[in-house]
């Protein structure tokens, strides 16, 4: 599947007035990009964080993260598209900053890019974030109708393939973008890349990322593994073996548990939130 590169993100940031980074309330530090935030702020653009999927974490966890991000000086709006929370507030915050922001002197997209849009005098915003954080769902909620396609698992039909622009209010347009690569390190983090930028079925080695994910879950919410699979095991590899055994997945050759299939199931359950886990903010 196609993810947006850092160079394309930078070019887009240069062109827009407002950047809305969508992060996952279940694991904000694993789904935010400090590099993106730094570049946006350094470019003197408005940086707003939408802490999305708040319905998947307890309220005090969501507000703990909002406080932490606000303490860093970031504008942070908690949202949940599933239960319809935070969208009016997000629109309101964008409109407030759109009104207060001088027009971007950078070259604007040409009429060829935006054939039907009279952007003159309008502010441009962009939604950006790791794959599957809910960017297109936010666009649909802001527009109050389904225009952008969405999907639960990376690589399944519905992921965003290219830039698309939507009118959010008079004089405010917003780009939906494909999920970006996890790019905070100088190189791409292979685990985040495997989890977020690939369909689980297409992963050549699903076991390594699944083991790292299970480790992260066990460290934060061991109950999540028990609730999803009925297992009280603390060895990540054994978790995979037991899932395979429970579901009757075995290698034909030697009848050993088919851990690859169990790993794919765990990754899918992470994306569909069947694995109900979250990372609380540090005290
Ligand atoms: N529980 C919950 N699920 C959400 C929320 N917002 C989005 N989702 C789900 O998350 C999945 C991904 O949403 P998308 O809007 O396709 O995410 P995206 O960031 O546009 O994904 P890409 O375009 O692939 O990068 C979908 O199954 C959505 O229904 C939310 O607030 N809560
Ligand atoms: Mg999308």
Domain ranges of the chain: 6-176, 199-272
245: CB partners within 8 A, 6+ apart? 257
Residue whose CA is at the smallest distance from ligand 1 atom 24: 159
| 138 Cα: distance to centroid of ligand 2 (angstroms) | 9
For the Cβ of 276 lying below 6 angstroms from any atom of ligand 1, the answer is no
Reported as a pLDDT band with limits 50, 70 and 90, residue 244 is very high
Neighbours of ion ligand 2 (CB under 5 A): 135-136, 160
Element holding 22 (H helix, E strand): strand 18-24
Please tell me the predicted confidence (pLDDT) of residue 184: 62
Reported as a pLDDT band with limits 50, 70 and 90, residue 11 is confident
For the Cβ of 80 lying below 6 angstroms from any atom of ligand 1, the answer is yes
Convert the pLDDT of each residue in 67-98 to its tens digit. Answer: 999 999 999 999 999 999 999 999 999 999 98
Instruction: Give CA–CA dist 147/111, Å, rounded.
Output: 21
169 or 265, which is more confident? 265
76 or 170, which is more confident? 76
User: Residue 161: how many CB atoms within 10 A of its CB?
Assistant: 10
Please tell me the predicted confidence (pLDDT) of residue 104: 60
Element holding 214 (H helix, E strand): helix 207-220
To the nearest whole number, what is the mean pLDDT of the chain?
Answer: 87
Instruction: Return the top range by mean pLDDT from 51-55, 98-102, 277-281.
Output: 51-55
For the Cβ of 156 lying below 6 angstroms from any atom of ligand 1, the answer is no
For the Cβ of 149 lying below 6 angstroms from any atom of ligand 1, the answer is no
| 147 Cα: distance to centroid of ligand 2 (angstroms) | 11
| CATH homologous superfamily, domain 6-176 | P-loop containing nucleotide triphosphate hydrolases (3.40.50.300)
Instruction: Give CA–CA dist 263/198, Å, rounded.
Output: 14
Furthest CA-CA distance within the chain: 68
Instruction: Return the top range by mean pLDDT from 109-123, 146-160, 172-186, 231-245.
Output: 231-245
| 271 Cα: distance to centroid of ligand 1 (angstroms) | 9
Please tell me the predicted confidence (pLDDT) of residue 111: 40
| 237 Cα: distance to centroid of ligand 2 (angstroms) | 32
Helix-, strand-, coil-residue percentages of the chain, each rounded to 5: 40, 15, 45
For the Cβ of 1 lying below 6 angstroms from any atom of ligand 1, the answer is no
Of the listed ligands, the closest to the CA of 134 is 1
Reported as a pLDDT band with limits 50, 70 and 90, residue 100 is confident
């Amino acid at each position: 599947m196609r993810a947006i590169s850092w160079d394309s993100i930078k070019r887009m940031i240069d062109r827009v007035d407002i950047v809305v980074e969508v992060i996952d309330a279940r694991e904000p530090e694993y789904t935010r990009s400090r590099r993106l935030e730094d570049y946006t702020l350094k470019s003197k653009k408005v940086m707003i964080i939408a802490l999305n999927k708040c319905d998947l974490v307890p309220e005090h966890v969501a507000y703990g993260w909002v406080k932490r991000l606000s303490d860093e000086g970031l504008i942070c709006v908690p949202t949940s598209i599933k239960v319809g929370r935070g969208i009016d507030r997000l629109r309101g915050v964008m409109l407030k900053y759109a009104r207060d922001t001088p027009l971007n002197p950078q070259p604007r997209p040409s009429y060829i890019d935006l054939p039907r849009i009279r952007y003159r005098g309008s502010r441009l915003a962009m939604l950006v974030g790791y794959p599957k954080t809910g960017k297109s769902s936010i666009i649909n909620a802001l527009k109050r109708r389904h225009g952008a396609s969405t999907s639960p698992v990376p690589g399944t039909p519905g992921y965003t393939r290219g830039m698309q622009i939507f009118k959010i209010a008079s004089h405010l347009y917003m780009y939906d973008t494909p999920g970006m690569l996890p790019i905070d390190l100088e190189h791409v983090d292979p685990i985040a890349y495997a989890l977020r930028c690939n369909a689980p079925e297409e992963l050549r080695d699903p076991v390594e990322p699944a083991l790292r994910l299970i480790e992260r879950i066990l460290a934060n919410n061991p109950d999540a593994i028990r609730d999803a699979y009925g297992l009280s095991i603390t060895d990540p590899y054994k978790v995979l073996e037991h899932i395979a055994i429970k579901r009757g997945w075995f290698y034909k050759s030697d009848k050993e548990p088919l851990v690859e299939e169990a790993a794919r199931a765990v990754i899918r359950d992470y994306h569909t939130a069947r694995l109900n886990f979250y990372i609380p903010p540090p005290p």
